[in-house]
Structure 1
Amino acid sequence: MTISSTPEGVSVQPRHIRFDVSDDLKSFWHGNNAFRTAFFNALSLQFPDGEQQFINAVRLYRDRIEDPKLQAEIRGFIGQEALHSREHKSYNEALKARGYDIDAIDERFARHMKWVANLPPSRQLAGTCGAEHYTAVLANAILRHPEWMEGATPAMACLWRWHAIEETEHKSVAFDVYRECVGDERLRRIVFLFVTWNFFKYTFLNTCSLLKTDGKLWSVKTWLGGLNFLWGKPGVIRKCLPDFLAYFRKGFHPWQHDNRRLLEKNLKELEAAPSAH
């Protein structure tokens, strides 16, 4: 019986692309805007450890999956996440070279990840599903609203598009493993509350740490612009809110939001981009 729900036309395969963004990260690469740059950099700082934990959580159950399609997608998922981790490590090293205290930020998040790694396997997998939902919703929004990256350097826009495409492609892999091996709807929802708290907590703390180094932490203008970006116009978080909350629906599944056409369009544009190599 096929338990993979990845629809026809979507392939979960890693793309071996390298991005040299070290020069871009020497400046406010997102339209010379301190907050927008810090917000995306804050997300990047969570990816290497976070995505390694996603891989570990899925690996705890992969031997129990008999569906060859889902097994192949698990391999693709691990490959994609490993490459995301590699590229964001390079990204974060470039931030460190610029003078940010990345070691302190990493240490703070690593303590949390160590705690997560000691949870029961079912909770680790439920946490992975919840975190993957956040990345999938944000990925969809980045692909649907290219204006959100307006003003970003071409290489950075390309990196974030690549990451968003692959997060969309594998958005149901951990979920399908959870549904087959755990299937506890109540646990899925409860763990999502914890994931929500931690996702916003570490994104906020990281953003503050970066802005402090930039000398912008107490800048009212920076924060007003940032609040407008997230909640006003364009309203990054505001526009994502209904999709975030959909996770609480009974019988929710990531591919109920079928964005294959959007994926296809962005794949063509990624392949044509000179920054992708």
Structure 2
Amino acid sequence: MTTHSHRIVPRPGPDFGLDGDIPRYWFDGDPFKSRFFDAMSLLFPEGEKFFIACVRDFRDDIEDPQLLAQVKDFIYQEGQHGAVHTQFNNRLKAQGIAVDHALQRQREIMFGTFRKRFSPRFTLAQTAAAEHLTAMMAHGFFGKHGLFDKADARIRAMYAWHAVEEIEHKAVAFDVYRTVAKGGYFTRVGAMLLTSFSFPMHVFILMRHMFERDGIEQRGRLWLKGLWWLYGPGGLFPRLLPHYLRYFKPGFHPWQHGDMRVYQRWTASFEDSGGDAIAAADAVMQDAQARAA
């Protein structure tokens, strides 16, 4: 099973109006939820550059023209994600968040440590692992639980668009790792364990900085409540745990798993509306609410 039967659409990054009057706490007025997704956005531009570089390491060795075309579209989509999240990060910078310092530190880790100390095969495995995590969140965040129903429509639309494209190209790095880099099971699992630790650690470090800049008092209580929302029974990530654990099956492939209804609803609405990403995200939320009712 490969990506060949799944279409990747190289869409230009839509204009989400990210320079508009978006509230600081745009997610239900909640500092923890808002800053959780703000911190993820901050990490995306450098992360996308890392993913592109790790796949490019093996591009010249790809003989399958279909996979090569998929890689080209993957690179285009990841580049668009980085550009849009950079626009969003400029909003954070205007709030006093040390965006440039955080990005420099991230570059040092990803390119100065991972890319220098690990083999190209291992960093490609890291990329495949990260793509599984983002696709898992893409499938889960916009499902029947309606996670973003109380979020600002513009940022919800940005994350929905990003989610849809993560679903489209979710197996590209995996297929390059398996068929071109000839990567094995234990390297794949080791890279996933490292990524599963390093990604949330960086998110939480950034969130702590954001809370400090926001001048929030009683941060301990905020963290306890927020971490319960993320990891408590019925929380955000326990609902995604079965999808996450499937990556550890020896015969795993990304296209074996994931509810495609969100993807289908978004793409249909996006095309019907003439490319209106906000309308497409709203249609996804309406569908989620109907399924939950």
TM-score, normalising length: structure 1: 0.91
The answer for unaligned runs of 5 or more in structure 2 is 281-293
Residue aligning to 2:7: 11
Give the structure, 1 or 2, with the largest relative contact order (CA under 8 Å, sep 6 or more): 1
Structure 1 residue 224, shift from structure 2 partner: 3.6
Q: How does 1:88-107 map to 2 (within 5 A)?
A: 88-107=85-104
Q: Is the 8 A contact 1:126 1:187 kept in 2?
A: yes
Instruction: Specify whether residues 102 and 258 from structure 1 end up closer, same or farther in structure 2 by C-alpha distance, changes over 3 A only.
Output: closer
Residue aligning to 2:286: none
Number of matched pairs: 273
Instruction: Specify whether residues 222 and 258 from structure 1 end up closer, same or farther in structure 2 by C-alpha distance, changes over 3 A only.
Output: closer
**Worse-matched range after superposition: 24-33 or 109-118:** 24-33
Residue aligning to 1:185: 185
Instruction: Specify whether residues 24 and 267 from structure 1 end up closer, same or farther in structure 2 by C-alpha distance, changes over 3 A only.
Output: farther
Residue aligning to 1:126: 125
Instruction: Specify whether residues 50 and 274 from structure 1 end up closer, same or farther in structure 2 by C-alpha distance, changes over 3 A only.
Output: closer
Alignment of 1:159 with 2:135, yes or no, is no
**Worse-matched range after superposition: 63-72 or 234-243:** 234-243
Instruction: Specify whether residues 227 and 86 from structure 1 end up closer, same or farther in structure 2 by C-alpha distance, changes over 3 A only.
Output: same
Name the SS for the 1:28 alignment partner: coil
Residue aligning to 2:105: 108
Q: Counterparts of 1:145 and 1:24 in 2: how far apart (Å)?
A: 29
| Deviation readout 1:244-275 (Å, 9 max, x if unpaired) | 12211111111110433331112224454463
Q: Counterparts of 2:183 and 2:229 in 1: how far apart (Å)?
A: 37
Structure 1 residue 241, shift from structure 2 partner: 1.7
Residue aligning to 1:61: 58
Alignment of 1:236 with 2:236, yes or no, is yes
Q: Counterparts of 1:236 and 1:97 in 2: how far apart (Å)?
A: 29
Quote the RMSD (CA, aligned, Å).
2.0
| Deviation readout 1:124-183 (Å, 9 max, x if unpaired) | 111101111111101111221462112111111100000000000000000000111223
TM-score, normalising length: structure 2: 0.86
**Worse-matched range after superposition: 79-88 or 224-233:** 224-233
The answer for unaligned runs of 5 or more in structure 1 is none
Code of the residue aligned with 2:168 in structure 1: it is: E
Instruction: Specify whether residues 217 and 241 from structure 1 end up closer, same or farther in structure 2 by C-alpha distance, changes over 3 A only.
Output: farther
Q: Is the 8 A contact 2:138 2:164 kept in 1?
A: yes
Q: Counterparts of 1:100 and 1:26 in 2: how far apart (Å)?
A: 15
**Worse-matched range after superposition: 158-167 or 93-102:** 93-102
Identical columns (%): 36
Q: Is the 8 A contact 2:139 2:167 kept in 1?
A: yes
